[in-house]
Chains A and B, each alone.
Chain A
Amino acid sequence: MPLSVIGEQQPKPDPLDELLQSGYRYALSLTHYRADAEDLLQDASTAIARAGGKWDKAYLFASIRNRFIDRYRRNRKILFIPLEGVSEQSWDDGWDLPDVIQGEALQKALARLRVDERETLFLAVVEGFSAQEIATMTNRPRGTVLSVLHRTKSKLRRFLQGGGESTHE
């Protein structure tokens, strides 16, 4: 009897690898610099290992966030600006962007966002967290999260269209 051909199965990815990669990307959304993101992830994950903490995304992200706040607070940098302190700007709802956005242009545009904007964008768009989940993770009202997300997308689009705005960082 001829043997049926069975396709080679892809090796199952290590869950810890995937978790650490997610943590790295989250750290990157906060720091925007690869080396800083790697340091932040290392600090957070070794601390979890020492304390025998849980290896799940919520715990790792919280640990990364707390360390980021501590580190940058010590350096007296402006981190998270309350929504009330930022002038609201709205743009028309057309998405008149080119079909292809170059990586470098996107990278530069992301660098111009504030930390809370980049973080919210990452958690919503990349990680797929709901506004309520992000609100819980970042200790902000859900309405603020939704507003920041909307404003951030508009701002990013404007940057990509070549518009300018002063940055807060």
Chain B
Amino acid sequence: MSEARFDQRIREHYESEKLSAEALERLKRTIADQQGRAESGGWKRGWRMAFAAAMLIAISGSLLVVERTFSPLTRAAAKEAAREHNLRLEVEIVTADYAELRARMSNVGFSPVEPDSMKGAGMRLIGARYGSLRGQPAIQLKLADARGEICTLIQVRPSGALTGVVGRRRHHVDGLVVDLWREKGLVMVLTRPLA
């Protein structure tokens, strides 16, 4: 058998594997249902949306300038954070206690903090390691969310390319959600799987 024929046989094997019509329909219904839920909230709050849209238009001029300037920077940081998340590197310090992390991780000129915006979100600290983001020394915290999904929170000083992180930004990278924001004098970059 030639290699080409061998490849063809592998193709035939996989192409013979199909979701049954029933499973496919069930999946499409689930997808439509999820999309419908995501959209229905918006219809119910129609007037609020209209108001929000008006406000958005009012401030979009100034934001556009900021967006055009900083979006590529935050996207690059988000991509790097997603890559780091996917590397799944082991933590250097295993702890569920932020105070212990602060005591043991002080080699980057700042101490890791628990972001207020994540308190009450059911995120459990697993540990941390040193790392970098956009060339800046950083601390990578590993967290488990309420569903047990592993998330990576990078904390770094807002210097160099990261000065551009203002407000809260969200990027989707390779099936991951990456949020960037500033808090307690640091840039926070949280990478997690889609909910």
B34, A46: Cβ atoms closer than 8 Å: yes
Count of residues in A whose CB is under 8 Å from the partner chain:
50
Contacts of B101-124 to chain A: CB distance below 8 A: none
A51, B195: Cβ atoms closer than 8 Å: yes
B27, A20: Cβ atoms closer than 8 Å: yes
* A166 interface residue per 8 A CB criterion: no
B31, A46: Cβ atoms closer than 8 Å: yes
Closest residue of A by beta carbon distance from B194? A47
Given that A46-B30, A70-B193 are contacting pairs, would A28 and B150 also be in contact in the complex, using a CB cutoff of 8 Å?
Answer: no
For B6, what are the chain A residues with a Cβ–Cβ distance below 8 Å? 95, 97, 101, 153, 157
B9, A47: Cβ atoms closer than 8 Å: no
Secondary structure type dominating chain A contacts: helix
Stretch at the interface among B17-25, B70-78, B131-139: B17-25
CB distance from B33 to the nearest CB of A (A): 8
For A53, what are the chain B residues with a Cβ–Cβ distance below 8 Å? 172, 175, 194
Q: How extensive is the interface on chain B, given as a class?
A: 35 or more
B30, A42: Cβ atoms closer than 8 Å: yes
For A74, what are the chain B residues with a Cβ–Cβ distance below 8 Å? 148, 150
B38, A107: Cβ atoms closer than 8 Å: no
A121 to B30, CA, bound (A): 30
* A98 interface residue per 8 A CB criterion: yes
CB distance from A152 to the nearest CB of B (A): 10
A28 to B27, CA, bound (A): 16
CB distance from A33 to the nearest CB of B (A): 11
B10, A50: Cβ atoms closer than 8 Å: no
CB distance from A62 to the nearest CB of B (A): 4
B83, A49: Cβ atoms closer than 8 Å: no
A125, B10: Cβ atoms closer than 8 Å: yes
A119 to B17, CA, bound (A): 15
A16 to B27, CA, bound (A): 11
* Chain B contacts to A: CB under 8 angstroms: 1-3, 5-7, 9-11, 13-19, 23-24, 27-28, 30-32, 34-35, 37-38, 83, 86-88, 148-150, 172, 174-177, 193-195
